[in-house]
């Protein structure tokens, strides 16, 4: 049986924090607090009497102490959010989903002993199909790590990395990754217009092809290369298309540069 979820204080309930919070609510989150400037909208959206919705940490009632704090504001707002935490919260373990911000950076806004875990989730978490990857320093206790894993397993798949530096590549691949797929869908739909396909049909072709290919990739014992070869008849249509996409300057170099740019930006975000 899965571990029960810890009670939380979620700071920042926007696109990513909100997607995760929906999953946690669906998975029997104990009474928790959500701190977000958009308190009114969130109170309406989640229409829950069990959780506290607040525009500021200072409004959280004194009797409430979360088992964990989830930090989900934009990286530039991290220090402001952490330094505004009243002292009574500063011993709760903190899970940060922020891109780029290292444990050392976050610690400067907390105490020397606050347990800190970094997690990089992605937006398919909203439908339980997310990929979350976590890094914890060696001194973080097993129960805290287990509680973190239980939270993010509600949102899809979960993995640990041993070295914090790998979080840059994780962010570039799976954190930002959904945007690359959505952009591919956008491009295919735009190009489909040239072929006079009815738009609703084009939408179905693109969506179902991305969905079916992802599911096949996830469930098949074959490698991506083998699956690609199964589609590619000699001298056929796929071979014609791939002869364009597989040019070094086409997808291989473009994707390499894109991931490199994401990694570089992740490093810059720690400043």
Ligand X SMILES: O=C(O)[C@@H]1CCC=N1
Residues making up the annotated binding site for NADP(+) are 11-16, 72-75
Under 8 Å between Cβ of 119 and 103: no
Q: Which of residues 180-209 bind ligand X (CB under 6 A)?
A: none
Q: From edge to edge, which strands make up the β-sheet containing 33-35?
A: 52-54, 33-35, 8-11, 68-71, 94-96, 116-120, 130-136, 156-161
Q: Applying CB under 6 A, does 81 fall inside the site for ligand NDP? A: yes
Under 8 Å between Cβ of 23 and 123: no
Q: Which is nearer to ligand NDP, 23 or 202 (CB)?
A: 23
Buried b (16+ CB within 10 A) or exposed e, 181-201: eeeeeeebbeebeeeebeeee
Q: Applying CB under 6 A, does 12 fall inside the site for ligand X? A: no
Which of ligand NDP, ligand X, none has residue 80 at its interface (CB below 5 to 8 Å by kind)? ligand NDP
**Which residues lie closer than 8 Å to 117 by C-beta, 6 or more apart?**
93, 94, 95, 96, 134, 135, 136, 140, 144, 145, 148
With tokens 């396909």, the residue in question is: 197
Q: Which is nearer to ligand X, 92 or 96 (CB)?
A: 96
- Work out which of 5, 29, 99, 117 binds ligand X, going by CB under 6 A: 99
Minimal distance, residue 248 CB to ligand NDP, in Å: 30
Q: Which is nearer to ligand X, 72 or 147 (CB)?
A: 72
- Work out which of 9, 134, 171, 263 binds ligand X, going by CB under 6 A: 171
Q: Which is nearer to ligand X, 52 or 155 (CB)?
A: 155
Measured CA angle at 20 (ends 16, 22), to 5 deg? 120
Q: Applying CB under 6 A, does 132 fall inside the site for ligand X? A: no
Please name the residue ranges forming H helices in 102-193: 103-107, 142-153, 166-170, 177-192
Minimal distance, residue 175 CB to ligand X, in Å: 3
Minimal distance, residue 182 CB to ligand X, in Å: 12
Under 8 Å between Cβ of 68 and 6: yes
Q: Which of residues 57-86 bind ligand X (CB under 6 A)?
A: none
Q: Which residues bind to ligand X, rule: CB under 6 A?
A: 99, 171, 175-176
Q: Which residues bind to ligand NDP, rule: CB under 6 A?
A: 11-12, 14-17, 35-38, 72-75, 77, 80-81, 97-99, 120-123, 175
């Amino acid at each position: 049986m899965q571990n029960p979820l810890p009670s939380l204080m979620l700071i920042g309930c926007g696109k990513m924090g909100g997607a995760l919070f929906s999953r946690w609510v669906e998975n029997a989150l104990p009474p928790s607090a959500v701190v977000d400037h958009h308190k009114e909208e969130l109170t309406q959206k989640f229409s829950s009497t069990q959780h506290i919705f607040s525009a500021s940490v200072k409004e959280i009632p004194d009797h409430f102490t979360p088992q964990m704090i989830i930090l989900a504001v934009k990286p530039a707002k991290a220090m402001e959010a952490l330094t505004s935490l009243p002292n009574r919260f500063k011993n709760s373990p903190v899970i940060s989903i922020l891109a780029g911000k290292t444990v050392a950076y976050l610690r400067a806004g907390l105490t020397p002993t606050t347990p800190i875990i970094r997690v990089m989730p992605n937006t398919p978490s909203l439908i339980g199909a997310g990929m979350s990857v976590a890094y914890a320093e060696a001194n973080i206790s097993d129960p805290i790590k287990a509680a973190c894993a239980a939270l993010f397993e509600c949102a899809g798949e979960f993995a640990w990395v041993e070295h914090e530096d790998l979080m840059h590549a994780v962010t570039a691949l799976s954190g930002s990754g959904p945007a690359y797929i959505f952009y591919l869908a956008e491009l295919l739909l735009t190009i489909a217009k040239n072929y006079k396909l009815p738009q609703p049909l084009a939408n179905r072709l693109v969506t179902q092809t991305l969905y079916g290919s992802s599911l096949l990739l996830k469930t098949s014992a074959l490698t991506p290369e083998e699956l690609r070869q199964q589609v590619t008849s000699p001298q056929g249509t796929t071979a014609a298309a791939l002869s364009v996409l597989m040019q070094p300057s086409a997808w291989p170099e473009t994707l390499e540069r894109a991931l490199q740019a994401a990694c570089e930006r992740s490093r810059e975000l720690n400043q």
